[in-house]
C-alpha cells in the first residue's frame, strides 16, 4: 500500500476482538512484539548512537516534508521556543561579557594568529611534551614563563614559553588571571608541582 493517510470507511472486522491470531501466527507475521514497550524505552541514546542514527538517516526525506503545519502546531512551536529567546537583560549581559572578553584580549596583547604560531613553535621545541610531568600529547598548553601582564614584550618570544599539560599549567601561580598584581620576581621561584 502506498504511504499516506487513509480514511477508513467502516470499522475493521477485528476491532475489539482479541485472540484472533495465536502467538505463533503473530510471530510468523513478525507482529509478536507489537504493542510491547521496546527494550530501550526511556533510555537515552549515547552520543555515538546518535551519530550513527544521524548518519543512517542522511539523505532521507523527513516524514513531514511538504506537509504544511497547522496554525495550532505553529502556535505550540512558538510557545515552546519562548524559553530560548533571550530577554533584553540577557542580551545586554551577553554583549557586555563579549565586550569584556575583547578588552581582556587587547589588554593581554594577544593577537590570535601570532600567538597560535608562537604556541606551535613552543610545542615543537618541547617535542609536544609537558615540561613538568613528561606527558607527551594530550591536552597541552603553552605557558608564558614571564606572564603576559608583566612582560608584554615577551608574549611572542619562544624562549619565554614552555609546554605544560593542562593540569600542570593550572598549578602554576601564573595560570589564567592569577598573575595580575604579583611581582615578576615571584615567578622566578621554583615551582612545586604536586601530581
Residues forming the site for Zn ion (CB under 5 A): 130, 132-133, 135, 165, 168
Nearest distance in Å: CB 124, Zn ion: 17
Nearest distance in Å: CB 48, Zn ion: 29
Task: Pick between residue 21 and residue 128 the one whose CB is nearest to Zn ion.
Answer: 128
Nearest distance in Å: CB 164, Zn ion: 6
State how far Cα 34 lies from the chain centre. Answer: 37
Task: Pick between residue 149 and residue 165 the one whose CB is nearest to Zn ion.
Answer: 165
Helices then strands, each counted (H, E), the chain: 6, 2
What is the spatial distance between Cα 142 and Cα 161, in angstroms, rounded to a whole number?
Answer: 6
Name the grid cell of 4.
Answer: 499516506
Residue 18, helix vs strand vs coil: coil
State how far Cα 64 lies from the chain centre. Answer: 28
Task: Pick between residue 142 and residue 168 the one whose CB is nearest to Zn ion.
Answer: 168
Nearest distance in Å: CB 126, Zn ion: 11
Task: Pick between residue 23 and residue 192 the one whose CB is nearest to Zn ion.
Answer: 192
Nearest to 187 by CA among 144, 130, 155: 144
Amino acid at each position: 500500500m502506498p504511504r499516506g493517510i487513509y480514511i477508513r470507511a467502516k470499522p475493521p472486522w477485528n476491532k475489539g476482538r482479541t485472540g484472533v491470531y495465536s502467538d505463533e501466527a503473530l510471530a510468523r507475521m513478525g507482529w509478536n512484539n507489537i504493542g510491547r514497550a521496546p527494550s530501550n524505552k526511556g533510555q537515552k541514546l549515547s552520543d555515538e548512537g546518535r551519530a550513527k542514527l544521524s548518519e543512517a538517516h542522511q539523505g532521507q526525506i523527513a516524514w513531514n516534508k511538504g506537509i504544511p503545519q497547522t496554525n495550532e502546531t505553529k502556535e505550540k512551536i512558538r510557545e515552546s521556543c519562548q524559553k530560548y529567546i533571550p530577554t533584553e537583560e540577557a542580551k545586554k549581559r551577553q554583549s557586555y561579557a563579549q565586550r569584556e572578553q575583547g578588552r581582556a584580549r587587547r589588554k593581554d596583547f594577544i593577537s590570535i594568529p601570532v600567538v597560535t604560531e608562537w604556541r606551535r613553535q613552543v610545542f615543537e621545541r618541547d617535542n609536544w611534551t609537558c615540561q613538568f610531568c613528561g606527558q607527551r600529547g594530550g591536552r597541552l598548553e603553552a605557558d608564558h614563563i614571564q606572564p603576559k601582564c608583566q612582560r608584554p614584550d615577551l608574549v611572542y618570544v619562544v624562549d619565554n614559553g614552555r609546554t605544560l599539560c593542562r593540569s600542570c599549567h593550572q598549578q602554576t601561580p601564573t595560570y589564567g588571571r592569577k598573575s595580575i598584581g604579583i611581582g615578576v620576581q615571584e615567578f622566578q621561584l621554583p615551582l612545586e608541582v604536586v601530581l
